[in-house]
Amino acid sequence: MKQALLGIAAIAALIGAPAQAADMPLKAPPPPIVSWTGFYVGLEGGGRWSNPSWDTTCLELGIAGGTCPFGLLGFPAGPTFLANNNPANFNSASLWGGVYGGYNFQVRPTWVVGLEGDFADGNNTKTIAGIPGAEHPGEPTTDTSTVTQTWDAGLRARLGYLVTPSTMLFVSGGGAWTHVSARALCGATTPWCTFTDLNTTSTASATLSGWSVGGGLEYRLASNLLVRGEYRYSQYGNFNYTLFPGLPPALPGNDSIAATLKLNSSTALAGIAYKFGGP
């Protein structure tokens, strides 16, 4: 009898054990650890403000005996012209957009370092009346001058601080490149250009290199989706060029204009990128 009672108690304990286990609260699994480390590619767009400065440095008659910047055989025509509207600013604004990509490495729980490159295009163009340094003050002219900045590119190092696991403040800096052109039109009414230049246009262009710095805020919408807002300032090297280059010195030629272009630009942008790899 005693053994029967012990057997019944054991069976009851076995039956009740699953019920007690079912009543115990389940412990949720720990959330995945999300890392910023990995490659990413994205699209960017915004506005670019271009600030070129055109400084005419020389007016050359283009014939034998011509000197610079004092006209023919030292005749002081150069300074009279060069002092007028020179240098001149060609500030402009443009829509701007392109692609970017890079690699982030989370070196500490709250610190991220990386390398990023981008390529974008815009059309910052400004035209003014006259040619800087080649006009008499107050004299009517149909000359015009134009400066254009098109594509730009950059390669920058980045340093980020994680305000929260999903929000990063960052700064960046590195090399920058852009394409610019300077153009002048000698119109029918002009104080400087000779008959060989009338109603003709001369253009010089180049790819400039320089540096860029910036910063912004980046937010992780999901483990593989990043959005950002950013500001960049870029400063480029000087562009030295000659418009309406003259013929051989022994022959009458165009009245050449030598100038230097200085350029900096500011860009405000938003971007969205896909990050490769999961938590």
Enter the tokens of residue 25: 């609260």
Tallying the residues shown for the chain, one arrives at: 279
Kindly state the average pLDDT of the residues 154-160.
Answer: 98
Could you tell me the CATH number of the domain that includes residue 167?
2.40.128
Residue 89 included in any domain: yes
Residue 174 domain boundaries? 34-275
Confidence of residue 278 (pLDDT cuts 50, 70, 90): low
Residue 26 included in any domain: no
Residue 133 included in any domain: yes
Q: What is the pLDDT of residues 246-260, one digit of tens each?
A: 654 444 555 788 899
**Domain count for the chain:** 1
- Quote the pLDDT of residue 35: 87
Q: What is the pLDDT of residues 197-220, one digit of tens each?
A: 677 888 999 999 999 999 999 999
3-state helix/strand/coil string of the chain: CHHHHHHHHHHHHHHHHHHHHHHCCCCCCCCCCCCCCEEEEEEEEEEEEEEEEEEEEEEECCCCCECCCCCECCCCCHHHHHCCCCCEECCEEEEEEEEEEEEEEEEECCEEEEEEEEEEEECEEEEEECCCCCCCCCCCCCCEEEEEEEEEEEEEEEEEEEEECCEEEEEEEEEEEEEEEEEEEECCCCCCCCCCCCCEEEEEEEEEEEEEEEEEEEEEEECCEEEEEEEEEEEECCEEEEECCCCCCCCCCCCEEEEEEEEEEEEEEEEEEEECCCC
Q: Which residue has the higher pLDDT, 267 or 32?
A: 267
Q: Which residue has the higher pLDDT, 167 or 16?
A: 167
Residue 19 included in any domain: no
Residue 169 included in any domain: yes
Residue 10 included in any domain: no
Residue 7 included in any domain: no
Residue 3 included in any domain: no
